[in-house]
Amino acid sequence: MSDKSRYLIKAKEAISQVYYDEYSGLLALPFPEIKFLTSSEENYVSGQYFITIGDSWRIHLNFGKLPHSYKEFKEEVKVLTRHEIEHYQTCPYNVLTHFRMIQAILNVNSQKNKPVDDNTIRLLAPYIANQIADIVIDTKLFQKNPWETLKSGLKREASMLFKM
């Protein structure tokens, strides 16, 4: 069995544990799509985690550089899975709320003495809305799982610093 196969098994175990032990009965989400990035891909160091909205929400967990410890990997998978589930469950909850968040950002910008130009703020608003949602979600998750959430956040920030 290859190393990637072992990591895939560990990822599925961790996701299942979060789905069924922590969010049982609350979700209509399909099981996340799991992918392993290659070292030549842009987000290899940090990984790439997001939700797509089509017929239903779908969590995508694209793992980059893997830790040497399966235990550490499973902990990180749990944190990431919780975070993406909370986008579905807490913030922005649905597309309408996401668009309302964007509109609020645009409205606040237009009321400033020196607003950011329209084209720039329209491009940035979805990213700003996502950052706001991330703060809401990580605050909620920190209250439930302080050590795991803090450890994961520090690790993510460190990987972004070293990526520069």
Calculate the CA 33 to chain-centre distance: 13
Pairing outcome for strands 33-36 and 57-63: parallel
Residue with tokens 């694209």: 62
Q: Give 60's strand partners.
A: 33, 50
Residue 36 DSSP one-character state: E
Q: What's the confidence (pLDDT) of residue 146? A: 87
Q: What's the confidence (pLDDT) of residue 164? A: 46
Handedness of CA 19, 39, 128, 149 (dihedral sign): positive
Q: 87-109 pLDDT, tens per residue?
A: 988 888 788 899 999 999 999 99
Q: 127-147 pLDDT, tens per residue?
A: 999 999 999 999 999 999 888
Rounded mean pLDDT of 37-57?
Answer: 88
Distance of alpha carbon 140 from alpha carbon 80, whole angstroms: 14
Three-state helix/strand/coil letters over 37-102:
CCCCCCCCCCCEEEEEECCCEEEEEEECCCCCCHHHHHHHHHHHHHHHHHHHHCCCCCHHHHHHHH
Is pLDDT of 5 > 80?
yes
Rounded mean pLDDT of 41-66?
Answer: 88
Q: What's the confidence (pLDDT) of residue 77? A: 95
Give the pair of three-digit tokens for residue 74: 């499973």
| Percentage of the chain lying above the pLDDT 70 cut | 91
Q: Is the pTM of this model over 0.75?
A: yes
Amino acid, single-letter form, for residue 152: S
Is pLDDT of 42 > 50?
yes
CA angle 39, 59, 71 (to 5 degrees): 60
